[in-house]
Structure 1
Amino acid sequence: MPKTDDDLPVKSVAVARPAGVGTRQKYDAAQIDKLEGLEAVRKRPGMYIGDPDERGLHHMVFEVLDNSIDEHLARDEEGKPYCTKIDVTIHVDGSVSVRDNGRGIPVDIHPKWKMPAVELVLTNLHAGGKFGQGAYKYSGGLHGVGAKCTNALSDWFKVEVTRDGKVYHMAFERGKTTEKLSVIGEIKNKKNTGTLVTFLPDPTIFTITTEFKFERLATRLRELAFLNPGLEITLVDERDDSPKKETFLYKHGIDEFVRQLGENKQVIHPKPINISRQRDETFVDCVLQYNDSYNDQILCFANSIPNPDGGTHLTGFRTALTKAINQYARSNNLTKEKDPSISGDDVREGLVCVLSIKLPNPRFESQTKVKLVNTEIDGVVNSAVYDGLMTYFDQNPPIARRIFDKVLTAARAREAARKARETIRKGALTGGGLPGKLADCSERDPELTELYIVEGDSAGGSAKQGRDRRYQAILPIRGKLINVEKARIDQFLKNNEIQSMITAIGTGIGKPKEDGGASSKDEASFDISKLRYGRIIIMTDADVDGSHIRTL
């Protein structure tokens, strides 16, 4: 007879308890620690670059790159940028270098801290030249953290500065100085200045990958070239036998950017709408263009820093766009009494927009700067975009009418989708019941149940034979479904296969009830608490028909 746990001999086991639980822990001044230099960055890298994954790895390059961009944004007495060229190179050993022809990081001894300025800005948090308005009026760097994070999280880091006819060199390892500032060369033309930074990511920090992706860097460099007309940026990859090279230089800036974003779509108006306004020291540049697609693409930037989570500039833009189109429609009697009201979702359907602002004192949600939080920018952008759109609409009535027709069609489709959702919901509540093809399970606890969505009735039959009827439900779906990317929501909600899935899953569709983004009560019809199955498994062939189902 096998032994039970009660029959086994008892062993003495030492259990590690959390500090302060069941033990008397001494807590006095000796338990207070202070991290020196860049130790905080190495200990908590997520606070500075986000997760140390592929995204965080590339953010290391962007932090150095942002300093070069700030040199381009800075202007001399003649209004010319100090930096006109940036070269980024991925080397064979996996290191990356960023070279610019800006003024070069200062190398003289700081009067207060008694060390070379270049060493100060690369080894001390919150040291930099962007706290006041002397060296930089517009900059993305404002915390005095950026490049020193890259230094701290690098296996090794080297900097060369060209200033005053000399070439200076310093080296670091994991944030600590290994080679003091020294002169390694001289140049005849003292007007030639710049900074070269080369670093190799620390594999003990970036445990997932230390391999830089050419396309990921190219995407960011292309954005920067669009946002800064006249700035030439080159990307070279030396890792292959035949080095790869791309140069980005755009004369017309974000107008070209918007055209490129929409180049594979049928546009409503061939020339993008350009809006440029200035209020005090804040500049607003907004370029937008409508196409016949059903999705929107709005990219936001502050001082050339991308803000993927938007912020106050995006809020101001959205408000102005909705207000301007509604106002123009009312002023020109374009709406009828039976037409649905125009919502923010309607005016953004098929919109491609790049919104770029320059402001003296940007405030971001985090060091990664994903969201702008300057409250005053909402009103500045709102006013600029509203005035610009109303002026454009008044001067271009035919285009304004085409845009409004597109918006009104979107509003009617949204209303039709609401009615379709309501029909599906009422059908489930009033006895329409579950889909006839669904082989349901007997268990009702979602924590225990599974729904298998399979391709075709024949596969459905095989799945039914092999399932556990208590916990596993089977829903056969035919392969070539409606293309949801190219169809409006009201069109695909009429599809029988889509209706079957919505009814079987049970949550409804739309925006979550607690999500304030829903335009109306009817749109807020997604309720996760009504989920009928804890797991949903898609079983399809690895062919075109199967991919149609997976894309849903």
Structure 2
Amino acid sequence: MSERQDYDATHIQVLEGLEAVRKRPSMYIGSVDTRGLHHLVYEIVDNSIDEALAGFCTSIDVSINADGSVTVVDDGRGIPVGTHPKYKKSALEVVLTVLHAGGKFDKSNYKVSGGLHGVGVSVVNALSEWMEVEVKREGKLYYQRYEHGVPVSDVSEIGNGDGTGTKSTFMPDPEIFETTKFDYNTLISRLRELAFLNKGIRISITDSREEELEQDVFEYEGGIISFVEHLNMNRTALHKDPIYFEREKEGTIVEIAMQYTDSYGEYVYSFANNINTHEGGTHLVGFKTALTRVANDYIKKNNVGKGDEKLTGDDIREGLAAIISVKLTEPQFEGQTKTKLGNSELKGIVDSMVSEGLAEYMEENPKVAAIIFQKALDARRAREAAKKARELTRRKSALEVSTLPGKLADCSEKDPTVSEVYLVEGDSAGGSAKQGRDRKFQAILPFRGKIINVEKARLAKVLKNNEILSLITAMGTGIGEDYNLEKARYHKVIIMTDADVDGAHIRTLILTFFFRYMTPLIDAGYVYIAQPPLYKIKKGKKDYYVYSDREKVAKLDEIGEKGTSIQRYKGLGEMNPEQLWETTMNPDTRTLLQVSMEDAVAADEMFSVLMGDEVAPRKAFIQKYAKDVVNLDV
């Protein structure tokens, strides 16, 4: 893409002011929890990516500094520092202090720009305790410092600068955020994703908070081809090289990479201007429509199988890992979380590209085609078997309690918006939970038998597992083609397991099932993980419950160790009903972790590693994160 070289202060356009950002931060970054915190880093990095997409940046370096602040350095053109014609102050100060001020509103500067909310660096500045920006332009180095979004110095020339670029350092404001501690692995996931989606860009991250420096560098000349290979690193591919298509039409770039594996899941992810469109959109519809049509045309033409068997989209996508990445000038985002692409022209562009490219690939690679379509036909037959099994799990009516599993202790409330169900490990804990709950709105579903690992089985086999059948029936939503979120019987589904290895395994099995077969339940924010206490500290007549070793030390420092007795809970069954209610089930005192689909790619990778067939990646994963384990029962 050819872009303007004469990028200066006159190109900075202002849409509106920066009022109310500190007063209502969630309006601008989504939340003030850890998700919103990390969003600050993404906003700055996205600006650097925009420079890269425009052809002016090749390297982005992110650092978590020893004091907890974050620095982002790029070698782009550098934010303009000249006087803004309207505001009569440096354009750098305008960009940092006025909401929606920047070069990307002028399409002669940026044909394509990303950003999750597009609020830019000014919001990062507003929500930081302090921020410092250095700019290299025209052989000079410029600097300005801000506190709580307000400049405390003028933009000043502080020396000579080789090359061009922008360096931004900020300290998130503890008055705004619930936590100001950045998670290295969360940042890694997004930065690696950006490196995959923008081939040739080098992105590094360094963590200086511990004595032992952590560092990762991401650079992929293969782009989304490398992304697909990464997705499949724990699976067995059915063909060596991913299939790849690229097309540019009227300024819109479409890239697709895809590869089939012998697994039973579907791993298709779509992106628009680097944003993960996990609600889908027109680009994903175009891909799926073309894929199904090409598959059926090929089967009919080449008499694969019986020749008259018709595949559904689910059949042809079994075992498929694919990345659909589009970059366009004016993306239109829709959906509940604004992550659904609405540009109508994308459907036709992607459809024709996949139709032509895939048909040509199949003709040139008949052996690969035969393997892929035989797998799809096997999936079709398994789907027919699953359909019969699924009919056994259907509830005739949401109000017919007789169809609910016998082990479910249901609540009396029929309104799903105020009803919750605890998925509890074992009879002992289930008994305590049933006695301790509030029967009006809390249901209990205990698991007594082994839950199948859905990562290693087709749906027909999954539906023969009694524990899974009970879970599906209790949810009320159905499964597969019958899935309907509106029929969910509970809007809080809380996984409550022991704080030991077995408990963690059961929790992962349940989450894997939800992730693979009931994704809308997670998307809707209905899935939670209970946080039972790890210790009870007794001193005199007073009981204290703490949830980690760190909390235990802090509590003992506070009340003194003398005269205390400490009980470590290895299982939920060790708590009587009153204790379980007080610590883990009472809405006024409990702590719940909400399961989020924010990073579906990272979740996919984790479940594949932990629950898949490959031993080596699982061993590497455990070795890498062993130091982060808080509660490990040995």
Residue 66 of structure 1 corresponds to which residue in structure 2?
46
Residue 387 of structure 1 corresponds to which residue in structure 2?
356
Residue 347 in 1 paired to residue 316 in 2?
Answer: yes
The letter of the residue matching 2:347 is: D
CA distance in 1, matches of 2:128, 2:282: 34
Bigger shift: residues 168-177 or 419-428: 419-428
Instruction: Describe the superposition over 1:273-313 as per-residue Cα deviations: whole angstroms up to 9, x where unpaired.
Output: 11111222211111011112222222222233333333322
Residue 156 of structure 1 corresponds to which residue in structure 2?
130
8 Å Cα contact 1:479/1:548 also seen in 2 = no
Residue 274 in 1 paired to residue 250 in 2?
Answer: no
Residue 402 in 1 paired to residue 371 in 2?
Answer: yes
Residue 168 of structure 1 corresponds to which residue in structure 2?
142
Residue 243 of structure 1 corresponds to which residue in structure 2?
213
Give the counterpart of 1:421 among 369, 386, 390.
390
Computing the radius of gyration over CA atoms, which structure comes out larger, 1 or 2? 1
How many residues align? The count is 491
- How far 1:210 sits from its partner (Å)? 0.9
8 Å Cα contact 1:86/1:232 also seen in 2 = yes
CA distance in 2, matches of 1:111, 1:443: 65
CA distance in 2, matches of 1:304, 1:182: 34
Residue 528 of structure 1 corresponds to which residue in structure 2?
487
- How far 1:49 sits from its partner (Å)? 1.4
Gaps of 5+ in 1: 1-34, 76-81, 512-517
Residue 65 of structure 2 corresponds to which residue in structure 1?
91
8 Å Cα contact 1:441/1:473 also seen in 2 = yes
Identical pairs, percent? 51
Residue 79 of structure 1 corresponds to which residue in structure 2?
none
Instruction: Describe the superposition over 1:185-206 as per-residue Cα deviations: whole angstroms up to 9, x where unpaired.
Output: 124x5xx111111111112221
Gaps of 5+ in 2: 1-14, 511-634
**Structure-to-structure mapping, 1:448-487, within 5 angstroms:** 459=428, 477-487=447-457
* CA 214–463 in structure 1, closer or farther in 2 if over 3 Å, else same: closer
- How far 1:209 sits from its partner (Å)? 1.0
8 Å Cα contact 1:438/1:475 also seen in 2 = no
The letter of the residue matching 1:43 is: K
8 Å Cα contact 2:300/2:308 also seen in 1 = no
* CA 178–525 in structure 1, closer or farther in 2 if over 3 Å, else same: closer
8 Å Cα contact 1:302/1:356 also seen in 2 = yes
Residue 109 in 1 paired to residue 53 in 2?
Answer: no
CA distance in 2, matches of 1:467, 1:73: 57
CA distance in 1, matches of 2:40, 2:124: 5
The letter of the residue matching 2:151 is: T
Question: For 1:287, what is the secondary structure of its paired residue?
Answer: strand
- How far 1:507 sits from its partner (Å)? 2.8
The letter of the residue matching 1:69 is: I
Higher normalized helix content (fraction of residues): 2
CA distance in 1, matches of 2:70, 2:369: 48
CA distance in 2, matches of 1:367, 1:443: 29
Instruction: Describe the superposition over 1:490-520 as per-residue Cα deviations: whole angstroms up to 9, x where unpaired.
Output: 11222344445556x3836226xxxxxx4xx
- How far 1:170 sits from its partner (Å)? 1.2
8 Å Cα contact 1:160/1:195 also seen in 2 = yes
**Structure-to-structure mapping, 1:51-450, within 5 angstroms:** 51-75=31-55, 82-140=56-114, 145-187=119-161, 189=162, 192-206=163-177, 208-334=178-304, 336=306, 339=309, 341-365=310-334, 370-425=339-394, 438=406
Give the counterpart of 2:22 among 42, 65, 82.
42
CA distance in 2, matches of 1:368, 1:488: 31
**Structure-to-structure mapping, 1:10-21, within 5 angstroms:** none
Q: Compute the TM-score of the two structures, normalised by the length of structure 1.
A: 0.78
8 Å Cα contact 1:420/1:494 also seen in 2 = yes
- How far 1:36 sits from its partner (Å)? 8.3
8 Å Cα contact 1:296/1:349 also seen in 2 = yes
Residue 626 of structure 2 corresponds to which residue in structure 1?
none
* CA 128–261 in structure 1, closer or farther in 2 if over 3 Å, else same: same
8 Å Cα contact 1:127/1:144 also seen in 2 = no
Residue 574 of structure 2 corresponds to which residue in structure 1?
none
* CA 348–144 in structure 1, closer or farther in 2 if over 3 Å, else same: closer
* CA 425–232 in structure 1, closer or farther in 2 if over 3 Å, else same: closer
CA distance in 1, matches of 2:420, 2:129: 47
Residue 604 of structure 2 corresponds to which residue in structure 1?
none
Residue 488 of structure 1 corresponds to which residue in structure 2?
458
CA distance in 1, matches of 2:179, 2:256: 37
8 Å Cα contact 2:242/2:258 also seen in 1 = yes
- How far 1:97 sits from its partner (Å)? 0.8
Question: For 1:41, what is the secondary structure of its paired residue?
Answer: coil
CA distance in 2, matches of 1:369, 1:453: 31
The letter of the residue matching 1:199 is: F
- How far 1:88 sits from its partner (Å)? 0.8
- How far 1:223 sits from its partner (Å)? 1.4
The letter of the residue matching 2:264 is: Y
Bigger shift: residues 194-203 or 227-236: 227-236
- How far 1:174 sits from its partner (Å)? 2.0
CA distance in 2, matches of 1:168, 1:59: 26
CA distance in 2, matches of 1:94, 1:442: 47
- How far 1:476 sits from its partner (Å)? 6.8
CA distance in 2, matches of 1:303, 1:534: 33
CA distance in 1, matches of 2:459, 2:450: 17
* CA 396–115 in structure 1, closer or farther in 2 if over 3 Å, else same: same
CA distance in 2, matches of 1:311, 1:450: 31
CA distance in 2, matches of 1:73, 1:259: 23
